Amino acid sequence: MGNHSRSRSARRDLATVTITCVRDGHAHAVPDVQIAGPQADGRGRYVALCGHVVTAAPMIDPEGAPCPLCSRS
């Protein structure tokens, strides 16, 4: 349990970007390193704080409802 707490604390310190997923319609918190880092796949898919693989909606679409799991991370 101690490691889990440290992991959560570290996640709160991450800079994130909110990205709405076309598959579930939720706005997920995605670490900004996912977008520009070496792990970026160039296909608009990112791993959110909650673990969901986000397929980015077009930026002109309205933002979806916040992901409850990302909000708790």
Q: Which DSSP string corresponds to 22-43? A: TTT-EEEEEEHHHHHSTT--SS
Q: Which residues pair with 56 in a beta bridge?
A: 21
Q: What distance in Å separates the CA atoms of residue 57 and residue 33, rounded to the nearest whole number?
A: 19
Looking at every residue in the chain, the average pLDDT score rounds to 82
Q: State the average pLDDT over residues 48-73.
A: 94
pTM attached to this predicted model: 0.77
pLDDT digits 0-9 by tens, 26-55: 999 999 888 877 666 778 899 999 999 999
**Residue where the block lists tokens 């440290």:** 6
Q: Could you tell me how far CA 41 lies from the centroid of its own chain? A: 15
The answer to whether residue 63 scores a pLDDT higher than 80 is: yes
The answer to whether residue 19 scores a pLDDT higher than 70 is: yes
Q: Quick one: pLDDT at residue 12? A: 59
